[in-house]
Structure 1
């Protein structure tokens, strides 16, 4: 088991659920959660990306709004499927938001055929879906645009209009803050070879038996073995944690029921890729800290993005964020402002 590294950077992840009858309220609640996270000292807030669902569909727009309500907390995506994006336009949008946030954006991506593509394939690519390439090349093209690589050989002038030969605006440093959400050993290795930071999640491919923790740790090993920085390469662990220290009796009952409804999927490989789900960690912070300190991946990383359950109420998220920042994280070695 790797030596324990004190937790330096504390983050949380949200899907930003909303009621379709009142989507404004849900988006406002997400922005309030991010602002609360900053006040509690969280180092980062991460947004999921959902389509045709009642969750955040435009994380770039939400990050832009959050950047104007906060001043310190970093804002990330975990993750944007690059296959659903135009790399050129996304580079423009993210560079703009990064400048407005004064360099706080941490975009995270996945490559390959996006989940549920069949539901909206014809809406996004009505004429070209057979020709679209959803692999790593699309993400590398995006990074080249963000990095400032030339789009044109020369910067042309047409009449009174002067053009640049690189994507505008350019935000210095954004290309060094790109993350990849790996689900397999091969994708973790690719992320390391290509210099991305690594996002792990609560779902991994079971390539070394049926134990989630073993497979997640193997991915981190594979990634760091391939990365030029080795053991110093950045990895953020993603798990669902539900501390109950300040929860009401009703909340505790609801949290326990939520975890029980999902427990049957743990330890059992799913589908042809043998996907494994992590167990939800529910209980007092002291108990959760004990479980995390025994987890090989947690012991090897210095930053986390704890996932907030998708179906809870705004007041539940307030309680969870307080307990994570004020009770759980200090037990893991986290000190606000140190990251």
Structure 2
């Protein structure tokens, strides 16, 4: 069995060709797709976070709303850029959203990705400490967040509080028990995957990673997952970690599918440079008739290693079509691979 969810970037554009023409459309349709995915039997509704872009940004109102409209499906992010986050306020927001969802929040975070603007986190009032890089700042804030989510008191109560306090030092409220074990780290390198394992975070690995060996993407990603699991075991954690991978996968079952995602001649991995210095590899997309798709996906080593698969969806094609995309995978592909 494999958990299968969707991952939406929440793009919107006023173009007449788009079914998602405003920020309101992107948010409301995201909630509707989470509801539809739950009705289909999917396991997760995950949302990407990008600042200064016509995409989903501040995630917690959306997570809370989706959690309130659903009852079973996991609600998550993939991922929140920690360069932009105050871990104290974030712990309160995350606790509230998790309580509204009944403990279904799966919070994916990371050091961030290439941005729409130069050093956008500075506009949010943040800057690295002396001697830190922006990535260092993100990882430091992550460690603070993880500590806060343990729910231990740390703040000295006022001798004259407005309301009565429980005894001892105070923690942030609302506190959601168990959320600390549902934090995921979006790792682009093997080293950061190992770092996440040592801190007891689950692993999210997307369709992009550092090109560390020159091998095909799925092989490098599988090696990353194995390194993560080895580090987890060495760290002595008692629970079983979770690992997700993201893929663009489309089962061509009708003419709409063939029109949108039929063969393009560009199905292989791609090499690019992030921030003009980091050589990165982008994993291929999959689009084929179900039987062919099953054969192709059976050869993807990283999917085989992961317990959770997130399907990246073309959200601007609308809720109805994206529901069809998810249903086609659950119905025509997943059973043939033993995922359902």
Common fold by TM > 0.5: yes
Structure 2: segments with no counterpart, 5+ residues: 15-20
Residue number among 267, 279, 282 corresponding to 1:277 in the alignment = 282
Higher-RCO chain (CA-CA 8 Å, sequence separation at least 6): 1
SS in 1 for 2:271: coil
Hey, what does 1:235 align to over in structure 2? 243
| Residue 193 (structure 1) aligned with residue 198 (structure 2) | yes
Q: Report the TM-score, using the length of structure 1 for normalisation.
A: 0.87
SS across alignment from 1:189: helix
SS of equivalent residue, structure 1 residue 226? helix
CA 1:157–1:205 in 2, change beyond 3 Å: closer, same or farther? same
Equivalent-residue separation in structure 1 for 2:293 and 2:239 (angstroms): 25
- Secondary structure in 1 aligned to 2:30? helix
1:147 shift after superposition: 1.4
Are 2:78 and 2:109, in contact at CA under 8 Å, matched by a contact in 1?
yes
Distance 2:161 2:59 in 1: 37
Could you say which residue in structure 1 is the equivalent of 2:81?
81
In the aligned structure 2, how far is the partner of 1:274 from the partner of 1:298?
A: 23
- Given that residues 110 and 185 in structure 2 are in contact (C-alpha distance below 8 angstroms), is that contact kept between their aligned partners in structure 1? yes
Structure-to-structure mapping, 1:1-339, within 5 angstroms = 7-19=1-13, 22-111=22-111, 115-116=115-116, 118=118, 120-125=120-125, 128-129=126-127, 131=129, 134-152=137-155, 154-163=156-165, 165-228=170-233, 232-245=240-253, 247=254, 249-256=255-262, 263=266, 266-270=269-273, 271-309=276-314, 311-335=316-340
Alpha-carbon deviation of 1:33?
A: 0.8
Residue 214 of structure 1: SS of its match in structure 2?
Answer: helix
Q: Go from structure 1 to structure 2 and tell me whether the alpha carbon gap of 1:253 and 1:160 turns closer, same or farther (over 3 Å shift).
A: closer
2-structure distance, mates of 1:150, 1:212: 44
SS state of the match for residue 147, structure 2? helix
What displacement does 1:85 show?
Answer: 0.6
Preserved contact between residue 84 and residue 114 of structure 1 (Cα < 8 Å): no
CA RMSD of aligned residues (A): 2.4
Q: Is the 8 A contact 2:267 2:286 kept in 1?
A: no
Contact 1:181 1:198 in 2 (8 A): yes
SS in 2 for 1:290: helix
Q: Which consecutive unaligned segments of at least 5 residues does structure 1 have?
A: 1-6
Distance 1:159 1:239, change over 3 A: closer
- For the 8 Å contact 1:83–1:113, the answer to whether it is kept is no
Q: Is residue 81–residue 114 contact of structure 1 (8 Å, CA) maintained in 2?
A: no
**How far apart, in 2, do the equivalents of 1:97 and 1:118 lie?**
30
Partners of 1:202 and 1:159 in 2: how far apart?
50
What is the aligned length? Answer: 321
Equivalent position SS for 1:142:
helix
Q: TM-score, normalised by structure 2?
A: 0.86
Distance 1:330 1:157 in 2: 61
